Amino acid sequence: MCYAIPGKIVNIDGRIVTVEYFGEKKKARNEFFDLKAGEYIYAQGGFVVQKILKEEAIPILKTWEEVFAKLKEIDLRLAREPKTLYQIANSKRQQHLGNSCCVHGIIEFSNYCKNDCLYCGIRKSNDKITRYRMSIDEIISSCDHAVNKLGFKAIVFQAGEDPWYTEDKLEEMVEKIREKFGILIVLSIGGRSIESYKRLYDKGARSVLIRFETSKAELYSKLKRGAKLEDRIDLIKGLNKIGYLVMTGFLIGLPDQTEEDILDDIRLTGELQTEMFSFGPFIPHPDTPLKGEKTPSLEACLNTIARARILYPDSKIVVTTALETLDKESGARQGLLAGANSLMINVTPKEYKKLYELYPNRVCIEEEVTERIKKVLDLLYAIGRAPTDLGINV
Ligand code: 5AD
């Protein structure tokens, strides 16, 4: 199983390598390897994450070549003559980014949280959930499984804001992962200090998933019990400055959120020079103060994706698990055909997965991960997408 295609290095200019994939050239930043032109690498999010031997790369490329051409054809066909909003967005995605679709894994390593956000099922005051936290060794062994058995090349490490993971522990975690696995390490650990994030960057983390949740400052403070939106925005900008690829976004359908607000939220996501947009529906959790609120419609979410795609045609947009939860059968497909070009697969150990209850009835909780991977790949092939991240266009 492979979620990245090996690329052949055709040029090296300092840290920037130019890589060729079936005649298409892309750029990637190399920070970790000693490389020469003619060698083969895997890239994720524009970073070289792994070197691969020519003898291994050639057969993989052979199997991909034909499939790749077929997928492109299907994608092009589905993007032709757009009429509806979703089709226009899909066509923009096809023109600007081609058919590559990032498939990231996610490991949810702790559901303890010191915060009490009104919308969130793992908020501190929810005493109805069973809490868990994975040891560094457990995280490493889940990662090992996801990388070496399942083939992932980019993994999000997500948790509530859990102070048990001190800076030292997180550094140890990132350092070990970096040493053992050739992957893009994405952190999703909430509001830590910028110094702390800098240290994690120095250990090898290269991406952060952190949402600003809403661009309305008063609503942000209300939902996050006095926290300030400007602090979150400053943190996101600081992460960008460090060099992290930032994935950010907001919740769709929050109480008191208007259509205008959603447009402002999309604009803010774009202005933050984000690597990837991540927005999903707010789904009320029965054990939170917002339990009586409404879940937004799938259409509201698809409209948001489509509008974001049209406004920011070069962006990567993920179909979130929450969106898939709204329509378990076809949410992912509809999202990908409304402008999205990325997906996440939950690779958290099964016994923990069901406890990470940000919102109820999460998709794929009972499903075996191998089943889920199969379904995702079937879907991607059916709509002509290649499950890979080909890096940055030259
Ligand atoms: N519904 C949907 N998404 C939620 N999150 C937290 N609670 C909910 C909910 N009830 C999202 C937040 C957070 C991410 C980790 O999970 O946007 O950033």
pLDDT tens readout for residues 358-368: 999 998 888 89
Mean pLDDT calculated for residue range 331-353 = 96
Say how far apart CA 10 and CA 24 lie, in whole Å. Answer: 11
Distance 319 CA to ligand 1 centre (A): 14
Q: What is the DSSP letter of 123?
A: -
pLDDT tens readout for residues 247-296: 999 999 999 899 999 999 999 999 998 889 999 999 999 999 999 999 99
SS3 at position 10? strand
Higher-pLDDT residue of 367 and 221 is 221
**Does 322 sit in the ligand 1 pocket, CB within 6 Å?**
yes
Distance 323 CA to ligand 1 centre (A): 11
- Inter-residue contact 115 to 124 (CB < 8 Å): yes
> Which token pair is 59?
């057969």
**Span between the terminal Cα atoms of the chain, in Å:** 27
pLDDT tens readout for residues 158-188: 999 999 999 999 999 999 999 999 899 999 9
Say how far apart CA 349 and CA 141 lie, in whole Å. Answer: 10
Q: Which long-range contacts (CB under 8 A, 24 or more apart) does 350-358 make?
A: 352/108, 352/111, 352/132, 352/134, 353/108, 355/111, 355/129, 355/130, 355/131, 355/132, 356/108, 356/111, 356/122, 357/111, 357/121, 357/122, 357/129, 357/285, 358/120, 358/121, 358/122, 358/285, 358/322
Say how far apart CA 194 and CA 181 lie, in whole Å. Answer: 25
Distance 224 CA to ligand 1 centre (A): 12
The per-residue pLDDT of the chain, averaged, comes to 94
Residue 47 bridge partners (DSSP): 29, 44
Residue among 275, 276, 314, 392 at smallest CA distance from 28: 392
Index of the ligand 1 atom closest to the CA of residue 211: 18
Residue among 283, 349, 325 at smallest CA distance from 149: 349
**Does 356 sit in the ligand 1 pocket, CB within 6 Å?**
no
Q: How far lies 366's CA from each of 134, 203, 339, 355, in Å?
A: 20, 34, 28, 12
Cβ neighbours for 309, distance < 8 A, ≥ 6 positions apart: 89, 90, 92, 93, 315, 317, 338, 339, 340
Distance 120 CA to ligand 1 centre (A): 6
pLDDT tens readout for residues 91-145: 999 999 999 898 999 999 999 999 999 999 999 999 999 999 999 999 999 999 9
